[in-house]
A = this chain, B = another copy of it.
Amino acid sequence: MIVIFKQNANQKDIESLCRGFEANGLSIHESKGAHTHIIGLVGDTSSVDIDWVRANSAVEDVRRVSEPYKQANRKFHPEDTVVDVCGRKIGGGHFAVIAGPCSVESEAQIIDVAKAVQKSGASLLRGGAFKPRTSPYAFQGMRAEGLELLREAREATGMPIVTEIMNTEHIPMFEDVDVIQVGARNMQNFELLKELGRLDKPILLKRGLSATIEEWLMSAEYIMAGGNKNVILCERGIRTFETSMRNTLDISAIPMLKSKTHLPVVVDPSHAAGIAWMVEPLAMAAVAAGADGLMVEVHNDPAHAKCDGAQSLTPEAFDDLMQKVRSAAAFFHKVL
């Protein structure tokens, strides 16, 4: 951590601050120029509250040099984490496709879609039971009943299920779910993250709409700090000024995450653009950029889907996509 002092800072304030750092076991390296006075703190600065330092009247600015996340940090864990979901592996060269409808709508729908995506080669089934919707008047999901139908679809196909949680109170209902998803709007629902850190189930953590990569990794850290190391990161597009698509897929996040963390990274091209015909090129780009998997919305009747129909593929289009994904994954040295 580097502390930059104000030009006219009071020497007594500086000294008092430095004594405080030393009392916390940090050593201080000073660098003083004509217009600048800087100290570098050496030691474990994760206990130092950057705001506390910044509030000191002698301080102009404070900058972290080392990342504030530890469990998620590749520096301290150079090997790729491979998350194993009932035998389906994600990360470390293993590529997985998670597919299914935006929301579970009926027994027939979820079982149909499950069978179709399984046949095409998806390894996990997704489906929303609890739906975060912008409008209180929109369909809110089948909730507990939707979870039950997902379990039926798992029974019918053997595919592990991935579904979104929105509230700590629902955790008991998710006991039998294989991967719990945290949606973009809950990426900084810290109470939820803490509780999920106490489980031993894989968590799929979607990036918040305007979360920086560091904030996202700090949310993963919340889960990991509680003891749950099985976190899968999911890039799903960020909010920018561009209006021709729903979100802007941050493709650079994939290599950047790969350098900063050992956790697997999957990409959701369906939510990123919000347009079905863009799913294929974005999926190809994700594979090429080094993603460990994809999350794709598939619906047997997109025009009558209860949500996000505009971005859902038909089972036929998904089957076509999977052939291309399989071939591209092999080209980019991944095992599907």
Please, what's the 1-or-0 string for A1-43, where 1 marks a CB less than 8 Å from any CB in chain B? 0101001000000000000000000010111111110101111
User: Which residues on B sit within 8 Å (CB–CB) of A188?
Assistant: 132, 134, 185
Residue A335 CB within 8 A of the other chain:
no
| Interchain CA distance A41-B288 in the complex, whole Å | 40
Using known A-B contacts A210-B241, A310-B54, determine if residue A225 contacts B137 with beta carbons closer than 8 Å.
Answer: yes
Interchain CB contact (< 8 A) of A35 among B7, B66, B191? B66
Q: In the bound complex, how far is the Cα of B288 from the Cα of A269, in angstroms? A: 14
Chain B residues with CB under 8 A of A248: 238, 240, 248, 250, 252
Give the number of copies in the complex: 4
Given contacts A167-B191, A273-B252, A288-B288, contact A305 B65 (CB under 8 A): no
Residues of chain B within 8 A of A277, CB atoms compared: 255, 259
A-B contact pairs, 27 of them (CB 8 A): A7-B75, A29-B29, A29-B38, A33-B40, A33-B43, A36-B40, A49-B306, A52-B306, A52-B309, A55-B310, A56-B303, A61-B65, A68-B134, A68-B137, A130-B191, A133-B190, A134-B188, A134-B215, A136-B190, A137-B225, A167-B192, A238-B248, A248-B250, A251-B251, A252-B273, A256-B278, A285-B286
